[in-house]
Amino acid sequence: MSTSPNRIEAFDAVDLIHTKRDRGALRTEQINWLIDAYTRGYVGDEQMAAMTMAIFLNGMDRREIKDLTMAMINSGERMSFAGLGKPTTDKHSTGGVGDKITLPLMPLVAVFGAAVPQLSGRGLGHTGGTLDKLESIPGWRANLTNDEMFRQLRDTGGVICAAGRGLAPADGKLYALRDITGTVEAIPLIASSIMSKKIAEGTSALVLDVKFGSGAFLKDIDRSRELARTMVALGEDAGVATSALLTNMNVPLGFAIGNANEVRESVEVLAGGGPADVVELTIALATEMLDLAGITGVDVAAALTDGRAMDKWREVIRAQGGDPDAALPVARETHVVTADRDGVLVEQQALPFGIGAWRLGAGRARKQDPVQHAAGIDLHAKPGDTVHAGQPLFTLSADEPERFARALEAVAGAYRIGDPGEPVLDGGPLIAERIGR
């Protein structure tokens, strides 16, 4: 969008850059102008790149972050689910390796009468995207109109779909710029990016799964805690009941890393099985989402074992054109890595395995790149497990065997077999802390 040459601008971008560069605070009206001017193209990418770096280096106070978030919300439309006649509750994860929690979580929460408007994204780099995973299912479609989304929430109680372009468009433009300017990790920018979309989405309750550790964007737990507290404050200031769980991403979540294989693992959870860590986090997040929505005293775990969550999953997948009974893609080639000795698996770093799956084709280097839905890594052991020489540790899957070499380079040194009694390097409990009301 271009700006009229006759328009007189309220501020000058260079002055605002100087203010933030010199550790000053931007006023509310300056932030409002900056985001509006950037969205309509008056402020150029090079100027906003300088501003994001100044924010990355010098931070923002709580009022500035709130103003930035509201300015991005006001750059587009706001949705409302007031007419549904049921409470709405949502979850956002900051991303990790093997993080497929949204897939079993959404139907599990919807079983209990809440509406779950799960607006999700695609993967970039080592972190997987929920939409990429679900597109492994034949026929399933990610793009719904607002009317279709509302109708599906009313009829089934749950939806996982792409956010419309009208929702916080300033954030979409700013996120793409941050990705190429080394400012992704700036806490004010992460917090305002996530919360502008979630608040504009119109949910009445929100639970944040904020990761820390090897496979997280913010590896240090103190930085993750700061991000969680910032986002919870933004949600509460906007009238959205908000809480956060700090969760461990030092080790991949579950056994599957990829797209189709993560769908398979999610279905196992919905069938009452699946990896213990995926089940634990799914139940914890579901309980938190329901509590914030005012639905208490329910047996969340029972809905996984008695088939109700699976029935809801099948209903929601069909509503978006997918066939829950269809065969999922299988890679043409596999490569198995085995243990070279007897012992205990004492280390399994999340980030290298995420990079390995990405190099196999499960992820993308650029937003426009396709993903290979069958590519990925299946783990056969987790830290603390006893293993024997020759036992499979993990399997690489890809359509082109030439991808295996670079994936193996990524995971070299990322796992280690030690002696019985040696400390297991898993970073501690899965759920480290709760932040919120």
So which residues are the catalytic ones? Answer: 92, 171, 178, 193, 197
Q: Which of 83, 73, 76 lies closest to 150 in space, CA to CA?
A: 83
Q: Which of 182, 160, 166 lies closest to 116 in space, CA to CA?
A: 160
CB 286 within 8 A of CB 105: yes
Residue 115 is classified by DSSP as B
Looking up tokens 């069938």, which residue turns up?
271
Structure-derived torsion over alpha carbons of residues 62, 64, 68, 74, reported in degrees to the nearest 10: 100
* Pair of tokens at residue 304: 């996984």
- State residue 233 phi and psi, 5-degree precision: -65, -40
CA distance to 66, 105, 113, 242, per residue, from 199 (Å)? 12, 20, 21, 11
Q: How far apart are CA 259 and CA 390, in angstroms?
A: 27
Q: Residue 170: what residue type?
A: A
Q: How far apart are CA 384 and CA 394, in angstroms?
A: 15
Q: How far apart are CA 393 and CA 203, in angstroms?
A: 42
Pairing of strands 386-387, 343-348: antiparallel
Q: How far apart are CA 283 and CA 300, in angstroms?
A: 6
Provide DSSP, 164-217: PTTBSHHHHHHHHHHHTTT-TT-HHHHHHHHHHHHHHHT-SEEEEEEEESTTSS
* Pair of tokens at residue 137: 């299912």
* Pair of tokens at residue 80: 């409302």
CB 223 within 8 A of CB 109: no
Sheet with strand 376-379: strands edge to edge: 256-258, 376-379, 392-398, 333-338
* Pair of tokens at residue 113: 């009468």
